[in-house]
Amino acid sequence: MTLFGAFVRPRDRPVWSGGLVTLLGELGISPGAARVSLTRLAARNMLARVKNGRHVYYTTTPRSAAVLHEGDERIFSLGRASGPEHEQWTVLWHTIPEAQRLERGRLTRRLRFLGFGPVQDGTWIVPRDRAREVRALLDELGVREHAGLMLARPATPLDFSGFITRVWDLEELAERYRAFVHDYVRYQTEAVQDDIDDRQALLLRTRLIHAFRQFPALDPELSEDLVPAPQHRAEAVRLFHDLYAALAPAAQRHFDEVTTP
């Protein structure tokens, strides 16, 4: 799905399955595992399988388009908030039964990607108004009847900053930003980019966004009147956007070449 989000969704065209298997092989995934992954994504209605002559193609579906759109909003807006500090918080609690544990697991993953942190079992908070996204998510998973949703704001007399550190691991977050900068800063100079061919550009750009997309699930983007911004976040965000754009033309050329029968 990282490949579809980065190289297919902007133009929304069918992609040859043989080329996808080749690209996944370049990223270290065996042909058998690649084919199984594509089949499972199609079974989950995340990809649609289309046959044209003797070739099989995959396209996005309305469901995957919605997920990719939500992902792009979180990934490309991270660290770029502007305007007044967030005063409104979203609180979600649920009692999803064991019979729907698959939906419960998917809800947990999507909530983390939206920036939510767990207060205790079944209770989640995030420092902004996410009511619209959560309602849509609950409806998509069919678990609205088991959930409650509330907008609120912290009571100022309480030591809310101490509570925050029990919900989000801010020290681990800062270390991850530091590691990201360490891993990718050497690619930002024009001299290094000139030495990267089309295939290397695709591999690097795919690994770049795959690494950066972990941050929305870890960083609640708390206002600085509660806690300081994570060290190295601004540098990581700037590095990601600059490098992702710089690698795009060469990476797209390789993607198009390999996925054309």
**Residue-wise pLDDT tens digits, 9-38:** 877 789 999 999 999 999 999 999 999 999
Please give the C-alpha separations between residue 185 and each of 119, 173, 192, in angstroms, as whole numbers: 35, 18, 11
Cβ–Cβ < 8 Å for 256, 199:
no
The answer, yes or no, to whether residue 159 has pLDDT greater than 80, is no
Tell me the pLDDT of the chain averaged across its residues.
88
The mean pLDDT of 56-73, rounded to a whole number, is 90
Q: CA-CA distance, 260 to 20, in Å (whole number)?
A: 10
Q: What angle do CA 179, 201, 7 make, to 5 degrees?
A: 100
Task: Delimit the domains of the chain by residue range.
Answer: 2-63, 88-152, 169-258
Q: CA-CA distance, 18 to 59, in Å (whole number)?
A: 14
The mean pLDDT of 75-88, rounded to a whole number, is 71
- State residue 9's pLDDT score: 80
Enter the tokens of residue 36.
Answer: 């199984």
CATH classification of 2-63 is 1.10.10.10, yes or no? yes
pTM of the model: 0.82
Domains 2-63 and 88-152 share a fold: no
Q: How far is CA 122 from the centre of its chain?
A: 22
Cβ–Cβ < 8 Å for 234, 178:
no
Q: CA-CA distance, 5 to 250, in Å (whole number)?
A: 16
- What is the dotted CATH code of the domain comprising 88-152? 3.30.70.240
Phi-psi region of 126 (alpha: psi -120 to 50; beta: other; left: phi over 0): beta
Q: CA-CA distance, 257 to 198, in Å (whole number)?
A: 10
> In which band, very low, low, confident or very high, does the pLDDT at 157 lie, cut at 50, 70 and 90?
low
The mean pLDDT of 81-88, rounded to a whole number, is 59
Cβ–Cβ < 8 Å for 106, 117:
no
